[in-house]
Amino acid sequence: MTKCDSSYGKPALLIGSDALLAAWKPFESKTPQVVPLVHTDLHRAMHVIDKTEAQIIIIEQAVASTKSGAAVMVQIHNQRTWRGTEIRLLSENAVDTLMTAEPEGVDPQEWLTALAHPLPPRPQRRAPRFPASGEEAVSINGAAVTLADWSTSGVQVRSSQMLRPNQGVRVTLSKGNKTVRTRGQVAWSTFTLLPQPEYRAGIALGQSIHELVEATTEARPVPRQTKSKKSRPAAVSA
C-alpha cells in the first residue's frame, strides 16, 4: 500500500454499501472531512455530490456496477469534468481489508485513500465539442434523441432507447435546411435514473459533419477540463 500524501486531509466522499459504511463508522469521528454516502439513497447522494466541492470521491467498485451505482457514476464523471475531482475505486480486496484490518497508526483517511486505486482518465477527444442550441434534430435508428453537444466527428446524446458500447447505429442529423445521414458507433454509454430513466452516450460518426457544426458562427466550444475547481461550464457533459 502506498501513501497518498497529495490526497491527505482533502474534503472527500465515500460512496458504498451499508456494510462498507458500517465498517468505516468507527473512523468517522477522526475524519470529519470524509462524508459517507450509501449508494441506494440516490436523492441524497446526487444532492451531496453536486453541492459538496469534494476533491476526492471514493466509490466501492462493486457498487459502481449496479443500476443505482451507474446513476451515481454519471454525476461523478461530471464532477471530474467540472472540477477536476479525483475519483478512486475500492476493489473487493480493498473493501475486505477495510472491513477486517486497522490503519495501525496511519491516519484513517490516508489509509482509505491508499486502499483505493485512481480511476483512469477518459481518452482525449479528437475535435472540440459545441453545446447544442436546441435547433438541431437528431435521430438514432429512426428514434428521436436529445442532442447534448457535438463535434465534427461525434455527438453526445440522451436517449430513452438502449444504447450499448460498440453498437453500430444509423444517425440522422439536421439543422436548418441541412441534413446528414451517416453510420456511427457507440463509443461509451451510461444509464441514469434521475431526473428520468435514460441513456447518455457518445457516438463516433462515420463521416465529418463540419457543415452542420460550423453552421452556427457563434458556437462556442464546450470547455475542456481545467485545474480550476470553482468554475463550472454552462453545458453539462461527460
CB 172 within 8 A of CB 138: yes
In the chain, how many domains are there? Answer: 2
Give the closest residue to 16 by CA, choosing from 40, 47, 33, 50. 40
Amino acid at 146: T
CATH code at 199?
2.40.10.430
State pLDDT tens for residues 152-186.
888 999 999 999 877 889 999 998 888 999 998 88
Give whole-number Cα distances, 123 to 39, 62, 126, 187, 195, in Å: 27, 23, 9, 11, 27
100 & 189 share domain: no
- Mapped onto helix, strand or coil, the DSSP state of residue 37 is strand
Same domain? 62 vs 38 = yes
pLDDT at 14 over 50: yes
Short-list 133, 123, 143, CA closest to 202: 123
pLDDT of 42: 64
Decide if 195 is inside a domain: yes
Q: Is residue 7 part of a domain?
A: no
Q: What's the pLDDT band for 79 if we cut at 50, 70, 90?
A: low
Same domain, 107 and 161: no
Q: What is the mean pLDDT of residues 188-205?
A: 84
Q: Would you say 17 and 39 are in contact if contact means Cβ atoms under 8 Å apart?
A: yes
Question: What pLDDT sits at residue 2?
Answer: 43
Peptide bond into 195 cis (omega under 30): yes
- 40 exposed, middle or buried (CB, 10 Å; 0-12, 13-18, 19+)? middle
Residue 105: DSSP 8-state: T
Written as one letter, the residue type at 19 is A
Express each pLDDT in 92-129 by its tens digit: 999 999 999 988 889 999 999 999 998 766 555 556 78
What is the spatial distance between Cα 201 and Cα 220, in angstroms, rounded to a whole number? Answer: 21
Q: The domain containing residue 174 runs over which residues? A: 130-213
Retrieve residue 205's grid coordinates.
460518426
pTM over 0.85: no
What CATH number is associated with residue 108?
3.40.50
Say how many C-beta atoms besides its own lie within 10 A of residue 78's C-beta: 17
Q: Does residue 202 share a domain with residue 168?
A: yes
6 occurs within a structural domain: no
